[in-house]
Structure 1
């Protein structure tokens, strides 16, 4: 039985940094990636990061690439997801492969101590001496990998939270998942047709929600009938609280632009004061508001959106703004009257 020093689950930025560190330390290691290297970064490739390159790269990875003469972005460079992937993560993976095995398409299904049940010999040396057994699904078959230590670097991007109370699914949410986008959408690019001329409910008060709100507002300016409601549990005059003397100018600018959208600088934004609900709320498969995110996205926190034809839902009670009017400043960006306790936003398509 071959036992590696380290098994690393995930070949994203954190997993690759861990692999570079293992290579530097002379450890035997294997990286198990369910998809492709940096695949999640590729899914938000158009997004411009608000943190500079030096905050998105680790010392082990930088040292490995510099030692090979790879030309890297400037420390202060602001990259898109695709630039981070092609200029740093993919070269890093190529360099790591010289001494560390990276297995793409290898999904880890379970991790446990070899030959020990989870309640056996707890805290004993005998248990600690046994390696970990990883059950791996690869190429339609199951294999085993054994390692003395395991790093779970799979992240949370592929495991979005639900919209219901306590982080559980809201009623009907699972049935409506095809209408829900749990990650950053691309309304101005590849997903333009999904959002143009349609009505969208955007949930969340993090920077990913802010990124989406700015994009939807830009789309609404040029495509008639494009409308969206931005909802959040946060009780505030603006969705995002500005950070005093924010050291990241790009983040400060995103906050400013998103808050300007919420207070009425952009057309066709529909908002509802706290305590007022859509007339047809009962017909929504899953609808509420969110903050207190569980998994970070590339811009800070992830968000959720759902779209349907603009005529499919009645105007929100107490809201101002539609395709023919300009929204007034709301006391806060809210949508639900029943105050559902939710984490992570999602919604569904009206049934009628």
Structure 2
């Protein structure tokens, strides 16, 4: 690289896309490293995605929800931190943490709201051209308040998440005209069942689709609503072969609130207030005069659930890769996650909520100095903790400033879920365990085969 080009790149900021918890953490780390940045948020406030589920209480306490660099920066301005053991709602995260951080003089001048990045590339080149590519800055095309602007950057950190890109209800994973035609009767996300959406669901026949924590939160609130309005009907369809897998580690979970969710949903199911169909694979939606008809495969038969008034879709989300068309990015072909993360998080292999900490090395893309971080780095994988994203950006920022020793260090310990399901080829059958069949990532994150290394059995197999 020529000295002139190097000097030009050095003077440019790092562009961060997305002002959620991980994007804000990236800004804090760049600030503490003395690096300039520009931060784009498509919404009209920090944590815009979190605002859509502001009524929901997290299962992780403040201890795991505040980035270390952000805490240090806030404390230097006299910020009073919340109690580490308290568990915040989404709204409390925004008001107590996101907004104070975003309003700091080190961050506020460089934060742009209503600024959606619609394209990214290298200056003057599409993704096909190789020669001289790394000497050129990135260019971001940003639509802000109806106008387009072009911004140059020496590096890009994509922390846009996946929340605004929900998966469709149909099990095949594609959108249909039928689903789009009844979108006003489908809620993609976590509705405020006992608050602003109460009238929408009171006395209605509600179908909840999904098996993750979002679905559990929805079902628990619908259970309370049914106690208040007896006519409310709750139908739960999911694809799990065993309902017990949804209940998680319960009392073995090191995050007590997460474990409690599993215990509470198990009790709700046992109460008979919820009709459960699993595994159920939705194949068709029909809008009839008497309500929505949902057709799917259950116990090797094609059956229909009739008279549905409302559907709550908690089937997960997928990353938006459309604006990265001209950037050299590789994702896993099944998960659409960052390629190197796939073996750690693939639910086809294991479903440990505890994934070993990782950083810049695993997040590295063919496009030098371009990183996808946060929940978007997990693609369609179902489980992500904010603390994981904080560790990601700490490592990425360290690499960007040339502190490779810090980038390679692991500075995070995650609480175990107390449960792990893994294919028997990998572990859980001590007589069949074989070192050559055990992926290091799997062993380090949860499993305890008879072969070394051994990790606590409390988190997985015994």
- TM-score between both structures, scaled by the size of structure 2: 0.59
Counterpart CA distance in 1 for 2:75 and 2:105 is 13
Instruction: Extract unaligned runs of 5+ from structure 1.
Output: 301-352
Counterpart CA distance in 1 for 2:215 and 2:204 is 18
Tell me which residue corresponds to 1:347.
Answer: none
Residue 277 of structure 2 aligns to a residue whose secondary structure is coil
Instruction: Extract unaligned runs of 5+ from structure 2.
Output: 1-7, 279-297, 317-346, 348-378, 387-462
Q: Which of 103, 116, 140 does residue 107 from structure 1 map onto? A: 116
Tell me which residue corresponds to 1:259.
Answer: 266
Q: Which of 10, 31, 36 does residue 23 from structure 1 map onto? A: 31
Q: Does 1:271 find its partner at 2:280?
A: no
Counterpart CA distance in 2 for 1:72 and 1:55 is 13
Structure having greater relative contact order (Cα 8 Å, sep ≥ 6): 1
Higher share of residues assigned helix: 2
- Report the CA distance between 1:179 and its aligned residue: 1.6
- TM-score between both structures, scaled by the size of structure 1: 0.76
Q: Does 1:9 find its partner at 2:95?
A: no
1:150-177 alpha-carbon deviations (Å, 9 max, x no partner)? 1111111111122335532256222222
1:137-161 alpha-carbon deviations (Å, 9 max, x no partner)? 1121111111010111111111112
1:241-282 alpha-carbon deviations (Å, 9 max, x no partner)? 42162101111111111122223x153x22336426544569
Show the 5 A alignment for 1:76-91: 76-91=85-100
Q: Does 1:294 find its partner at 2:380?
A: yes
Tell me which residue corresponds to 1:56.
Answer: 65
Counterpart CA distance in 1 for 2:156 and 2:150 is 14
Tell me which residue corresponds to 2:84.
Answer: 75
Tell me which residue corresponds to 1:248.
Answer: 255
Instruction: Count how many residue pairs are aligned between Structure 1 and Structure 2.
Output: 295
Alpha-carbon distance change, 181 to 197 in structure 1, aligned in 2, over 3 angstroms: same
Alpha-carbon distance change, 97 to 159 in structure 1, aligned in 2, over 3 angstroms: farther
Residue 180 of structure 2 aligns to a residue whose secondary structure is coil
Residue 167 of structure 1 aligns to a residue whose secondary structure is coil
Alpha-carbon distance change, 70 to 288 in structure 1, aligned in 2, over 3 angstroms: closer
Q: Which of 190, 194, 198 does residue 184 from structure 1 map onto? A: 190
Tell me which residue corresponds to 1:153.
Answer: 159
Tell me which residue corresponds to 1:316.
Answer: none
Instruction: Confirm or deny: 8 A CA contact 1:9 1:108 kept in the other structure.
Output: yes
Alpha-carbon distance change, 72 to 155 in structure 1, aligned in 2, over 3 angstroms: same
Instruction: Confirm or deny: 8 A CA contact 2:247 2:263 kept in the other structure.
Output: no
Alignment RMSD, CA only? 3.0
Tell me which residue corresponds to 1:167.
Answer: 173
Q: Which of 127, 138, 160 does residue 133 from structure 2 map onto? A: 127
Counterpart CA distance in 2 for 1:286 and 1:194 is 11
- Report the CA distance between 1:28 and its aligned residue: 1.3
Instruction: Confirm or deny: 8 A CA contact 1:45 1:82 kept in the other structure.
Output: yes
